Amino acid sequence: MATVTMTVNGEKRTASVPPETTLLKLLREELNLTGAKLGCDVGDCGACTVIVDGKSVNSCLMLAGQADGRDILTIEGLATVEHLHPIQQLFEEKGSLQCGFCGPGVIMSAKALLDENPDPSDYEIRDALAGNLCRCTGYTKMIEAIQAVAQAKNNPAARKSA
């Protein structure tokens, strides 16, 4: 068994799992954080995207042991009791998610993008989402929402009309 201690959404967690357990499985089955999804299990679809030490990764391609000591942010860690995260808020507002299965992964990719690049171009947004397959939306309303988040952040006055 591999004993893994890590910070998950701001709190310390420890779990002992077989060494071949992926970070995705650990999050979903040991910590009951089922927001990250298993869509392909080989890093093609991005439904399992979480943020590790500030970088978005496919949690299906990371062993639990590799997450030891790291700082993990999952979709469950974005909102607070009072507020949706602005990305979640605008995804809802713009109708960016349909079946929703890719949603948590897409939103984590968007979060990682905006943390590094607060004013991304259309191409940069598309590039940041290229690892997240979506079959419902054509990505259109996701891109619109991410643009709107950036706009609101950079120009709070424009927020109302967004």
Partner 1 sequence: MDTKTKNQKAVKDAPAATLESTAEMLRAPAAAPLVPMPLEVLVPEARQQTPAVRQRAQRPDCRLHGLGQTKYIDDMYLPGMLYAKIKRAGVASAKIISIDTSEAEAMPGVVAVITGKDVPCNTFGPSLKDQPVLADSRVFHAGDGVAAVAAITEQIAADAVEKIKVEYEILRPVVDPLESLQLETPGLHAPNPNIYGRKIIKKGDIEKGFAESDHIFEASFRTQMVEHVPLEPHASLATWDANGRVTIYSTLGRITLGRADVARTLAMPMSRVRIIATIVGGNFGGKNEITTEPVVALLAKKTGRPVKCTFTRPEEFISSTTRHPLIMDYKTGVTRQGRILARKIRLVLDGGAYCSWSETTLGKACILSAGPYNIDNLLAEAYVVYTNKTMTGAMRGFGAPQVCFAYESHMDDMAKALNIDPLEMRLRNVLEEGSLSPTSQKLHSVVIKESLIQAAERFGWNANGNGAAA
Partner 2 sequence: MKAFEFVAAKDAQHAVALLAQHGPTSKVLAGGTDLLADLKFSSHAPPSVVVDISRAAGLNELKMTEEGLSIGALVTHTQIMQSPIMRDQFPALIEAAHTIGAVQTRNLGTLGGNLVTAVPSVDSGPTLVALDAIVTVLGPSGRRSMPLAEFFVGPRKTALRHDELLVEILIPKASVGKPTAFLKFGLRKGQALALVNVAGSFWVDWGKQAFVAPRVALGAVAPKVIHATSAEAYLDGRAISPEAMVEAGRLAAGDAKPITDFRASAEYRRDLIAVLTKRALEGAYELAKAKRAEQK
Partner 3 sequence: MKRRGRGIACMWYPIGFTVAANPSAAVVKVNEDGTATLLTGTVETGQGSLTVLAQIVAQELGIATDDVHVVSADTDTTPMDTGAIASRTTYVTGNASRLAAEKAKAILFEVAAPLLGVKPSQLEVADHKVQVLGFPQRSLHIGDVSEHAKSVNGQPPIGSASFNPATVALDPETGQGKPFATYVYATQIAEVDVDDETGEVEVLRIVASHDCGTPINPMLVEGQVEGGISMGVGFALEEEILFTPDGRQINPNLTNYIMPTSLDMPKIEVDIVDSYDPTGPFGAKGVGEPTCVSTAAAILNAIHDAVGVRVTTLPATAERVYAAIKAKRAQEAKLITAG
CB nearer partner 1, residue 50 or residue 62: 50
Query: Mask 45-64, x = binds partner 3 (CB under 8 A)?
Result: x-------------------
Report, in Å, the least distance between residue 98 CB and partner 1. 8
Q: How far is the CB of 114 from partner 1 (least distance, A)?
A: 15
* Among the listed residues 23, 35, 51, 144, the single contact to partner 1 using CB under 8 A: 35
Q: Which of the listed partners (partner 1, partner 3, partner 2, none) does 61 bind, with a CB threshold of 5 to 8 Å by partner kind? A: partner 2
Q: What is the DSSP secondary-structure string of the chain?
A: -EEEEEEETTEEEEEEE-TT-BHHHIIIIIS----S--SSSSSSS-TTEEEETTEEEEGGGSBGGGGTT-EEE-GGGT--SS---HHHHHHHHTT--SS-TTHHHHHHHHHHHHHH-SS--HHHHHHHHTTS--SSSTTHHHHHHHHHHHHHHH-GGGGTT-
By a kind-dependent CB cut-off of 5 to 8 A, residue 81 interacts, out of partner 2, partner 3, partner 1, none, with partner 1
Give yes or no for residue 136 binding partner 1 (CB under 8 A). Answer: yes
Question: Tokens 């790291």 sit at which residue?
Answer: 70
What is the smallest separation between the CB atom of 110 and partner 3, expressed in angstroms? 11
Residue ranges that bind partner 3, judged by CB under 8 A: 40, 42, 44-45, 94-95, 98-100, 125-127, 129-143
